[in-house]
Amino acid sequence: MNVRVLILLLWLPLQAAAQGFAGLGTDGAGFAQTDPDTRLQFPADHGAHPDFRIEWWYLTANLTGPDGTPYGLQWTLFRSALAPRDGQGWETPQLWMGHAAVTTPDAHFVTERLARGGIGQAGVQAAPFAAWIDEWVMQGADFDALRLRAAGPDFAYDVGLTAVGPLVLHGQQGYSVKSAAGQASHYYSQPFYQVAGTLTLPTGDVAVTGTAWLDREWSSQPLAADQTGWDWFSLSFDSGDKLMGFVLRGDTNYTAATWIAADGAATALPDGAFTATPLADHRVAGRTVPVEWQVTLPEQGVDVTVRAINPDAWMATSVPYWEGPVTIAGSHAGVGYLEMTGYDQ
Amino acid sequence: MTGTIFAALLGHWRRNPLQLITLLAGLALGTALWSGVQAINAEARASYDAAAATLGEGNYAQITARDGGVIAQDTYVALRRAGWIVSPVIEGGLGSVRVVGIDPLTAPGGVGPIGTTEGADLGAFLAGTGQIFGRAETLAALPDTGAQEVLAPDVAPNTAIMDIGVAQRLLGRAGQIDRLLVATAQPLTQAALADVAPGLAMAAPQGGSDVARLTDSFHLNLTAFGLLSFAVGLFIVHGAIGLAFEQRRPMVRTLRALGAPLGRLIGLMAVELAVLAFVAGTIGVALGYVVAAALLPDVAATLRGLYGADVSGQLALRPAWWLSGLAIAMGGTAVAASGALWSLARMPLLASAQPRAWAMARQGAGQVVLAAGLLAVAGGLAIWGHGLLAGFGMLGALLIGGALALPPLLAVVLRIGQAQARGPVAQWFWADTRQQVPGLSLALMALLLAMAANVGVSTMVSSFRLTFTGFLDQRLASELYVRAADTAQAEEVVALAGPVVDAVLPILSVDRKIAGFPAEIYGARDHATYRDNWLFLRSVPGVWDALARGEGVLVNEQLFRRAGLDLGTAVTLAPGVALPVVGIYGDYGNPVGQVIVTEAVFRAQFPDVVALRFGLRMAAGKVDAVRTVLRDQAGVAEAAMVDQAAIKAVSLAVFERTFTVTTALNILTLAVAGFAILMSLLTLAAMRLPQLAPVWALGLTRGRLAGLDMVRAVVLATLTGAVALPLGLALAWALLAVVNVEAFGWRLPMYLFPLDYLRLGALALLAAVLAALWPAWQLSRTPPAQLLGVFRHER
């Protein structure tokens, strides 16, 4: 994905003098900088990059219950470094934050965890792959077969993920530009997971199947100072094709997108190729948030209406945002996920 | 016209400055005592609140090691990874400062300074050399740590808060945690605590700070004192206002005859009083601040020594406090003045202004009935009342009833005295004394309340001291107490000390719920130490033998009262294991229940618990040598060894300070009461002239008359003191046996201190004599022409 949220980060210190959403536009001096010549190496790059300021492992899934009810699932691990170094014990500057959510057509369950690196409470290792915070885990022998678990006070889930397609590198070989001024991140995805497992909800256990999309991204300054939020779409069409696109809202909007063919072939699209226009707003948590969009990508003949399955999918976390499953209608049909940040009260 | 009426009203004060001073001083002194005591209480409570907020005590369940030792950091991580939302806390001492290390990322909401303090910088708190939050005096007391110091007035006194990483480094305890706070919301799926960390146990939230509950007892004493002081002040105000209104009746009549509307007149008098009350209240609050500032260091030291509660020795001006001080001054004046204003409103326009109507109006059957009724209510509440409210209701009824009963009682005694009197002077003396009682009654009631309060509070404090030191003797029977850091050190302690001392008594304990209440279970070895020193409130015959055979348990008074565990009731220690209660013992100041079983039963039920604390019995002379051996050879920290003599010395020093506070308050209240007497006598002096002049004309010299006045003051003070003693003792009984039980679940035995009462009586007498001295001297110097003037014209 792209500019996936990253929140926390530094919530208190940076918010005072924050630039961009959640401080993501703050100068990353002292940290490693993104480089267009970097070539991603696997499995090493599945692991953490502590020299970069922020990083995330971001999984969203569109699921269906036995009765056809659509569900959304989110599992996210954020890493945020207070200083460009690693370390053991409590002294480490590496902080971790987990968000887990389940969305049903009429309910949205969210919970958050925070942890310090260095004591084993949270972390990521590349191979065999494991990402964890507290008892929440995403792990497996390799990146293509993972088990995913999380729980909150009122919900839990335990699902298996099996990749049926290749990793997809966004932008230029995984170097994804975020603004006309050149802010960028390293960004790749695994959008081809098949999912099967169980959701535990207040009403009982639900067996679910569906698809999931995992985003990996790291940077030290992904946003330009004037960029205050973004609208990000991951769309899976019934044809098997997929589309990742985002609008970064600033003094002038910046868009980027990746067209992913059913066989995994990726085409990066330049600023302006992808458009997203709000069609209907919704009041949630004291904010007005667009929950119905017209999304176009003329190059691929895409002109669709994207609609939230549950418009109240508000993430009431340390840094709040909207994240939830969507349905797609129009030139293409399908399901996907929508993330919207920077909608202030 | 308003201005004219107001000027006329103020004219009264100009002509009678003494009355104005009485009114202002009485109100100010009463307010001062009340608000001074409240300030001390408010300061102490604010300190506990800060402590509770800082540490999350009370609000969160806590996990601790069963053996009372440390929790390994790896165990904490294992718990987090098993789905336990817990947050680590480490505590220790750095110099004299209490260091608390927390993890702000996992701390439940509202714990710690981060997030509550403006401008907190998480990055600086966590990383680098870290930050230390504390009050100015705490930060000043810290040794140089290299960390950035941040001023945080909301942090508990003498406590420094920092990141757990920084705290572990400063305390030299890497990888160690003392306890875990358990967040209220836990995830749906979670491994059992026993599976992840069998050595740990969880205790439910306590719903209130331990320290606050302990010290409530002490605050109750102070609050009772403050309330009584204010009652004394109120009597003075009531007297002064009543007198002022009475004397202004002719003026009111004249003003009304001149056309001033009654409504406006009353309104203006109310405004006038409100202004006076405001002025007096402000002076009183300021004086209260001085009283509190002078006493607070002693109170803080008392609380720290007695309960380990840290209270800042510095006074902060809290708006709630001075506003309440002003409010009580205004409210008190309103109460005192409402009756006077009411009677003024009903006064017939042309009624003659009887100069002594006020003085005589206080007598009557109504007051006797009211007093008897109130005392009956107090008695009824003592027998049938339940709850703290009933306890306080009883205190109030007792005091007011006692005060109201004083004038009728005095009247009876004086009538008897008059009947016994022989000779005209003696007869006149008794008659004249009787005649003066109504005018002096309010001042005498104030003296009565002051003395009763002093007797009551002194009895309570002294009883508390006797009980507590006796309790210490019982509980701290061993000469030396040692706490080992771990099992290995515990074994070394036993090996080293065993051959040298008379006995090594292991102290085994676990926290469990007993009959639904949080409680500690102790395992006690069968040893003469216990048999010789422990006293029971109730016990079966052969209690120690029954305990030693494992056929019963001992419970503390708290558990007995809360859970109704009387002798013979079965106590369930563990599923399927229940033993009857064979003894109930007093356990003063402990907020939780306690159960004692014999060592064998304890070890059978809780085989995992290892004794890390020991009581060592030995000859007193050996203590220092044993200490040295344990320190040098077993590496036991000096702070982990406490000798009995030191604990007792500290406790006694604490009580000495308590007495300083009590004595200071005693003298202040008596001074206030003495002042009331002085003012009443001065006011009466002018009125009495027409009665004294004929006696003087019959041949009694002015000096003789003055001497008789002094005797009268002594007689009245003595009689008042005689009534105050039983009232004070009743007050003490109510505080110890009713209010304390309702509030804290344990009863303090009451002891009597005749010498103290004698001293108090002498002080009260002294106050009365001093108060009578000036009026008597004035009388002895009254120019004969003035006395003769009485015969020249009616007043």
Contact B74 A120 (CB under 8 A): yes
Q: What is the pLDDT of residue B640?
A: 65
Shortest distance, CA B165 to any CA of chain A (angstroms):
5
Nearest to B593 by CA among B540, B556, B549, B647: B556
CB contact under 8 A, A116 and B103: yes
A239: left (phi over 0), alpha (psi -120 to 50) or beta: alpha
A111 vs B: CB within 8 A: yes
161-180 of B, contacting A, C-beta below 8 A: 163-166, 168, 174
Taking the Cβ of residue B73 and every Cβ of chain A, the question of whether any pair is shorter than 8 Å is answered with: yes
Nearest to A89 among B124, B165, B190 (CB): B165
Residues of B in contact with A316 (CB under 8 A): none
Query: Tell me, what's the pLDDT at A26?
Result: 57
Complex ipTM: 0.91
* Subunit contact A116:B80, Cβ cutoff 8 A: no
Which residues of chain A have a CB within 8 Å of the CB of B192?
Answer: none
A93, B126: Cβ pair inside 8 Å? Answer: yes
A10/B74 CB distance under 8 A: no
pLDDT, tens only, A221-271: 767 777 888 899 999 999 999 999 999 998 889 999 999 999 999 999 999
CA distance linking residue B394 with residue B711, whole number of Å: 36
Nearest CA in chain A to B106: A114
State residue B85's pLDDT score: 92
Q: Who contacts B272 (Cβ-Cβ below 8 Å, separation ≥6)?
A: B6, B9, B10
pLDDT at A22: 53
- Give B188's contacts in chain A (Cβ within 8 Å): 151-156, 200
User: pLDDT tens, B541-550?
Assistant: 888 888 888 8
The 3-state secondary structure of chain A, one letter per residue:
CCCCCCCCCCHHHHHHCCCCHHHCCCCCCCCCCCCCCCCCCCCHHHCCCCCCCEEEEEEEEEEECCCCCEEEEEEEEEEEECCCCCCCHHHCCEEEEEEEEEEECCEEEEEEEEEECCCCCEEEECCCCEEEECCEEEEEEECCEEEEEEECCCCEEEEEEEECCCCEECCECCEEECCCCCCEEEEEEEEEEEEEEEEEECCEEEEEEEEEEEEEEEECCCCCCCCCEEEEEEEEECCCCEEEEEEEECCCCEEEEEEECCCCCEEEECCCCCEEEEEEEEEECCEEEEEEEEEEEHHHCEEEEEEECCCCCEECCCCCEEEEEEEEEECCCEEEEEEECCCCC
Amino acid at A165: G
| Cβ contacts of A95 on chain B, cutoff 8 Å | 105, 126
- The whole-number average pLDDT for the span A156-178 is 94
Q: Are A158 and A146 in contact (CB under 8 A)?
A: no
Tens of pLDDT, residues A260-309: 999 999 999 999 999 999 999 999 988 999 999 999 999 999 999 999 99
pLDDT at residue B484, rounded to an integer: 74
Lowest mean pLDDT among A20-24, A314-318, B363-367, B381-385: A20-24
| Contact with chain A for residue B74, Cβ under 8 A | yes
Judged by a CB distance cut-off of 8 A, whether residue A95 touches chain B is yes
Q: How far apart are CA B724 and CA A262, in angstroms?
A: 99
- Encode burial over A173-208: b for 16+ CB neighbours within 10 A, e otherwise: ebbbbbbeeebbbbbbbbbbbebebebbbeeeebeb
The reported pLDDT for the residue numbered A18 is 37
**pLDDT band at residue A60, thresholds of 50, 70 and 90?**
very high
C-alpha distance from residue A5 to each of A21, A79, A170, A317, B128 (Å): 8, 11, 17, 12, 27
pLDDT of residue A311: 95
Check CB contact under 8 Å for B105 and A115.
Answer: yes
CB–CB contact A134 B168 (8 Å):
no
Q: Kindly give, in sequence order, each residue whose CB lies less than 8 Å from that of residue B376, ignoring residues fewer than 6 positions away.
A: none
Strand partners, B91: B100
Tell me, yes or no, if A82 comes closer than 8 A to chain B by beta carbon: yes
Residues 6+ apart with CB under 8 A from B396: none
- Which residue in B has a C-alpha nearest to residue A318's C-alpha? B105
B123 reaches A (C-beta below 8 A): yes
| Band of pLDDT at residue A135, cut at 50, 70 and 90 | very high
Task: Please report residues of B whose CB lies closer than 8 A to that of A111.
Answer: 187
Q: Which of A82, A119, A155 sits opposite B123 (nearest CB)?
A: A82
Residues of B in contact with A91 (CB under 8 A): 127, 165
Under 8 Å between Cβ of A109 and A199: no
pLDDT along chain B (795 residues), means of 10: 82 79 76 74 61 55 79 94 92 80 79 44 73 84 83 75 89 88 87 88 59 54 62 64 70 82 85 88 85 66 51 60 79 78 73 47 67 86 74 79 86 87 87 82 79 79 72 70 75 78 79 75 77 77 82 83 79 79 76 80 78 78 78 70 67 61 71 74 75 85 88 88 88 77 68 84 85 86 83 62
| DSSP per-residue string spanning B257-297 | HTT--HHHHHHHHHHHHHHHHHHHHHHHHHHHHHHHHHHHH
**Residues in chain B within 8 Å Cβ distance of A152:** 187-188
Q: Is the pLDDT of residue A19 over 50?
A: no
A152 phi, psi to nearest 5 deg: -125, -175
CB contact under 8 A, A135 and B185: no
Query: Any chain B CB within 8 A of the CB of A132?
Result: yes
Sequence-separated (6 or more) residues with CB below 8 Å from residue A4? A56, A58, A76, A215, A217, A232, A339
- Long-range pairs for B495-502: beta carbons < 8 A, 24 or more residues apart: B496/B629, B496/B630, B496/B633, B496/B634, B497/B614, B497/B616, B497/B626, B497/B629, B497/B630, B500/B618, B500/B622, B500/B625, B500/B626, B500/B629, B501/B616, B501/B617, B501/B618, B501/B622, B501/B626, B502/B617, B502/B618, B502/B619
Return the SS3 of B128: coil
pLDDT 10s digits, A96-116: 999 999 999 999 999 999 998
Mean pLDDT over residues A31-50, rounded? 92
- Could you write out the DSSP letters of every residue in B31-79? HHHHHHHHHHHHHHHHHHHHHHHHHTTTTSEEEEETTS--EEHHHHHHH
Considering only CB atoms, which chain A residues are within 8 Å of B107?
A: none
Task: Choose among B288, B672, B292: nearest CA to B451.
Answer: B672
Between chain A and chain B, the number of residue pairs with CB atoms below 8 A apart is 80
Of the candidates B77, B80, B189, the beta carbon closest to that of A151 is on: B189
Q: Residue B639: how many CB atoms within 10 A of its CB?
A: 8
CB atoms within 10 A of CB A51: 15
Helix (H, G, I), strand (E, B) or coil at B378: helix
For residue B565, the 8-state DSSP code is -
Confidence category of residue A82, pLDDT binned at 50, 70, 90: confident
Torsion of CA B633, B634, B637, B639, to 10 degrees: -100
Determine, for residues B189 and A93 on separate chains, whether the beta-carbon distance falls below 8 Å. no
| Calpha distance A275→B157 (Å, rounded) | 59
